């Protein structure tokens, strides 16, 4: 699970002070509800629950990290313990990374443990953990193996409503839970289509709207492309505000919902020489040649010229539409508020709509990523306390404090609406589309375990650039990518064909697919 920006100690202190002032947080209105009887709980599928959810011990399991990991304490548990003085929280990693700190990497003791197997052990024994904090893919493995508890009965009992959360969050969690809700998440990331209202009006082009197909979005991009008053090109669409160094990464908003992969590790085979990849490369090449998309690489800039926007095409007036997450709205708002101090910049009106979708995949977005998920362990003897903790960290009261990652959104619709109003974006543009299958993340993880697989992506980048520049037909580029990638899948090897190191540890993604 990747670490990210979390609240600082100062932020925690401020949050605690703010929490005391929030209505219903501290006195009359408790997050925990009256307990049903044990027999009622068991018949509802909830198992036997502890009667006092605000006292005693609570054990929280994580996949990797350290005992009482500081990140998780500051992000989630310090506030809860402050609000519930009778609760003592212990954070337990499945794989304690501190054990490797002083070990000889070649020693037998340094043998890497399989995280998913170690996670299973946390849910067994006389004192299993009560809550699991996992990413969505590991949650899928945990729920499939029966380690986590469905939350329907808990939500019904306590009055929680799925409708209070963003559909993207609930649908993503149910997808990870095999159709059932096995966890809640306090935050998530999502992307939307930003567009320059003034530019569309000036050029008499109908602006984008929710529910747009990619085919229609490309037609709009062609219609909206042109030149500004200085004769500089204005592209109809840029997949990212600032051109990405890696053009394949830059087009993920388009390819991610299609479920395209580049290689299959288990079959040791490339998966790029397909009609789907050919369609993508052909369409994007045509759009680039028509001036509807910007060139794949950043143009050479004048070292003497100052660019206040750091190459941002949308803010710089060189793109009529772009794709970004909700945090980009704050950048736009700041630029517009400071327009008087930015030489040569004319502020403009901007709006957001839902990301375009592919035919047959109208419910799938791009850049939609769940944050940490919180689930109840099926074997826990403290399920009531576990549910009380999960309700707390995902509650509206906590989300009002805006402690979430600045590049993510709160998961509750009312909290999203407050932030949308503050930063000027439409909440609806970010809340409906569910996450795509995390294929790119699995491939990135495979590269981390076998660094020479990076050569596959690098070959694809170079070939895609040649195709975009018209130096190579798309079909030939994909065939060459397939051939070059195959040799890196058989390794890891050096250029002369000799092994560089022993067999790599299997990635978590591979282990999850085997256990699922």
Residue 80 pLDDT > 80:
yes
Q: What is the dihedral of CA 158, 163, 167, 171, to 10 degrees?
A: 50
**Is residue 140 within 8 Å of 439, Cβ to Cβ?**
no
Burial per residue of 413-429, b for 16 or more beta-carbon CB atoms within 10 angstroms, e otherwise: bebbebbbeebebbbbb
C-alpha 345/C-alpha 316 separation (Å) is 8
Q: Which domains does the chain have, with CATH numbers?
A: 9-189+369-431 (3.40.190.10), 191-353 (3.40.190.10), 439-515 (no CATH)
- State pLDDT tens for residues 378-398: 999 999 999 999 999 999 999
Q: At 357, list the tokens.
A: 């979708």
The stretch 151-163 carries a mean pLDDT of: 97
- State pLDDT tens for residues 81-136: 999 999 999 999 999 888 767 666 666 555 667 889 999 999 999 999 999 999 99
- Residues 6+ away with beta carbon under 8 Å from 421: none
- Residues 6+ away with beta carbon under 8 Å from 462: none
**Is residue 304 within 8 Å of 220, Cβ to Cβ?**
no
For residue 493, what are the β-bridge partners? 499
Pairing of strands 56-65, 131-134: parallel
Q: At 228, list the tokens.
A: 């500004």
Secondary structure of residue 177 in the 3-state scheme? coil
C-alpha 64/C-alpha 233 separation (Å) is 48
Measured between alpha carbons, how far is residue 237 from residues 223, 225, 243, 287 in Å? 10, 8, 11, 10
- State pLDDT tens for residues 203-260: 999 999 999 999 999 999 999 999 999 999 999 999 999 988 889 999 999 999 999 9
- State pLDDT tens for residues 424-479: 999 999 999 999 999 999 999 889 888 889 999 999 999 999 999 999 999 999 99
What is this structure's pTM?
0.85
| DSSP codes joined into one string, 440-472 | HHHHHHHHHHSGGGHHHHHHHHHHHHHHHTTSS
Residue 143 pLDDT > 80:
yes
Residue 365 pLDDT > 60:
yes
């Amino acid at each position: 699970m990747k670490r990210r920006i979390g609240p600082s100690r100062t932020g925690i202190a401020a949050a605690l002070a703010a929490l005391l002032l929030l209505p219903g947080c501290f006195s009359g209105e408790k997050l925990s509800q009256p307990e049903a009887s044990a027999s009622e709980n068991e018949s509802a599928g909830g198992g036997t629950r502890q009667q006092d959810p605000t006292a005693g011990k609570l054990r929280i399991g994580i996949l990797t990290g350290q005992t009482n990991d500081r990140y998780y304490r500051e992000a989630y548990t310090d506030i809860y313990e402050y609000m519930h003085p009778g609760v003592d929280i212990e954070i337990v990693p499945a794989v304690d990374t501190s054990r490797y700190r002083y070990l000889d990497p070649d020693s037998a003791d340094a043998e890497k443990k399989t995280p998913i197997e170690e996670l299973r052990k946390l849910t067994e024994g006389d004192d299993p953990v009560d809550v699991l904090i996992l990413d969505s893919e590991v949650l899928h493995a945990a729920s499939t193996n029966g380690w986590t508890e469905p939350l329907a009965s808990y939500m019904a009992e306590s009055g929680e409503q799925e409708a209070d959360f963003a559909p993207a969050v609930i649908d993503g969690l149910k997808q990870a839970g095999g159709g059932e809700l096995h966890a809640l998440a306090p935050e998530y990331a999502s992307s939307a289509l930003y567009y320059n209202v003034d530019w569309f009006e000036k050029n008499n082009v109908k602006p984008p709207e929710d529910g747009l197909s990619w085919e229609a979005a490309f037609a709009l991009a062609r219609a909206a492309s042109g030149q500004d008053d200085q004769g500089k090109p204005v592209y109809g669409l840029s997949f990212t505000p600032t051109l990405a160094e890696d053009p394949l990464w830059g087009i993920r908003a388009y390819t991610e919902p299609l479920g395209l992969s580049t290689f299959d590790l288990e079959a040791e085979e490339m998966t790029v020489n397909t009609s789907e990849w050919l369609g993508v490369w052909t369409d994007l090449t045509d759009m680039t040649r028509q001036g509807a998309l910007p060139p794949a690489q950043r143009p050479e800039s004048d070292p003497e010229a100052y660019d206040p926007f750091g190459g941002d095409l949308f803010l710089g007036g060189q793109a009529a539409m772009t794709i970004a997450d909700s945090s980009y709205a704050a950048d736009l708002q700041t630029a517009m508020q400071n327009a008087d101090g930015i030489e040569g910049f004319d502020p403009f009106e901007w709006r957001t709509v839902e990301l375009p979708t592919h035919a047959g995949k109208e419910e799938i977005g791009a850049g939609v990523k769940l944050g940490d998920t919180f689930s109840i362990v099926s074997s826990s003897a403290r399920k009531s306390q576990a549910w009380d903790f999960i309700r707390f960290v995902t509650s509206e009261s906590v989300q009002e404090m805006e402690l979430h990652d600045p590049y993510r959104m709160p998961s509750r619709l009312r909290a999203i609406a407050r932030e949308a109003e503050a930063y000027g974006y439409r909440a609806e543009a970010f809340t409906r589309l569910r996450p795509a299958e995390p294929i790119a993340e699995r491939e990135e993880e495979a590269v981390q375990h076998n660094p020479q697989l990076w050569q596959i992506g690098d070959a694809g980048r170079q070939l895609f650039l040649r195709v975009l520049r018209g130096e190579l037909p798309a079909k030939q580029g994909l065939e060459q990518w397939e051939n070059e990638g195959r040799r890196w899948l058989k390794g890891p090897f050096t250029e002369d064909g000799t092994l560089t190191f022993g067999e790599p540890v299997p990635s978590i993604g591979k282990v999850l697919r085997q256990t699922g």
